[in-house]
Structure 1
Amino acid sequence: MPFATTRATLSRQWALLRQLPSRSPGTTSAELVWSLRDVGFSVSKRTVERDLNELSLIFPIERNDKSIPFGWHWSATAGGELRGSFDLQGYLRADGLQASPGAGLELQALISDGLARQLREAPLSADMQLTALDQGHRLRATVSDSLPLRWWLLSQGVGLLVEQPLSLREEIAHTLSSAAARYLP
């Protein structure tokens, strides 16, 4: 998938997550189409439904099946920082992905120059290292082995490639290939 298409999809999906209410009965797919149009995304109801189904595999969002049309909303168990106005840079500055002293995951990844610029301003951890390469940068950091880490890694799209640990690389690859398979005919 070309980088521009991936970035547009991620931007649309991020905007979609911001439109979701914090409780049931939720917002319908048709209402979300209009909300997305208000912020500059012209998409079909079916695209919104596909996005919501895909996002529900990664984020704590739920579909209210009790009435038709179905409403989508954040799960009651979702942390407050994940709802509507989530600020990634603020979350990173507040040590959201940093490991406890003496614990954590040794993350190594290839990242884009743009992501490297962001991480210089909001480091993932106190021991984070960025090494410039011919194309992009190599990131090394000790981070918390957590669901927010996986959400963050997945949200980077083609701007990040996990190298180590191998088990995390395989997990992210499986999630991305499963999601991509849903778009292929």
Structure 2
Amino acid sequence: MPFATTRATLSRQWALLRQLPSRSPGVTSAELVWRLRDVGFNVSKRTVERDLNELSLIFPLERNDKSIPFGWHWSASAMGEPRGNFDLLDYLRGDPQQPRQGTGLELQAWVSDQLARQLREVPLSANMQLTALHHGHRLRATVEDGWTLRWWVLGQGEAVVVEQPEALRDEIHKTLSNAAARYLT
């Protein structure tokens, strides 16, 4: 159950980040509650506020304090250059704290049908391929190797199983095994 709870929280927070506009005045917590309900997350305004405060410690988010209710938006420093929309995946791929690994990592994984639907809307890479299986889909994509990939994989919980590369599969297995062991004590 803890994996399901963590996965639900990460999925909700990912959806929340996707709802934020790229500039001020931003969108209010109350409006974000309704937007999240539209995409399947029934949460309170307080939960949204807590999520925004936590996420602002990791991502370049700003709260517009000029008027009440406050509006949340992506920081202008996250845009690189002025654009109409902020692309979270582009931001994560371009994180200066994450070292570049040449042409990328060839990822192969099993993904659930629900995750495959989400990936069709927001692909991991330009060369991403999804192949239908009897249960789920096979995902193949060239992705940047780093903490964001691991964060994404772990955040999907049981909806993804890394098949290749073997080193990443072993690392994810070790992380999940160690986490599960902590719940058994």
SS across alignment from 2:92: coil
From the superposition, tell whether residues 7 and 85 of structure 1 become closer, same or farther in structure 2 (CA, over 3 Å).
farther
- In structure 1, how many angstroms separate the alpha carbons of the residues matched to 2:108 and 2:182? 28
Q: TM-score, normalised by structure 1?
A: 0.55
- In structure 1, how many angstroms separate the alpha carbons of the residues matched to 2:180 and 2:45? 24
Superposition pairs of residues 76-87 of structure 1, within 5 angstroms:
78-80=58-60
- In structure 2, how many angstroms separate the alpha carbons of the residues matched to 1:128 and 1:16? 24
1:10 pairs, out of 2, 7, 25, with 7
Quote the sequence identity (%): 50
**Unmatched segments (≥5 aa) in structure 1:** 19-35, 41-71
1:75 is displaced (CA, Å) by 9.9
Matched, 1:148 2:148: yes
Name the residue aligned to 1:178: 178
From the superposition, tell whether residues 184 and 168 of structure 1 become closer, same or farther in structure 2 (CA, over 3 Å).
same
2:92 pairs, out of 93, 96, 101, with 96
SS across alignment from 2:4: helix
| CA RMSD across the alignment | 3.8
> What amino acid maps onto 1:11 in structure 2?
A
SS across alignment from 2:125: coil
Superposition pairs of residues 1-185 of structure 1, within 5 angstroms:
6-12=3-9, 38-39=46-47, 78-80=58-60, 90-92=87-89, 94=90, 96-97=92-93, 103-185=103-185
Q: TM-score, normalised by structure 2?
A: 0.55
1:181 is displaced (CA, Å) by 1.1
Find runs of 4+ consecutive structure 1 residues off by over 4 angstroms. 12-18, 72-76
1:91 is displaced (CA, Å) by 1.7
The number of equivalent residue pairs is 128
From the superposition, tell whether residues 14 and 118 of structure 1 become closer, same or farther in structure 2 (CA, over 3 Å).
closer
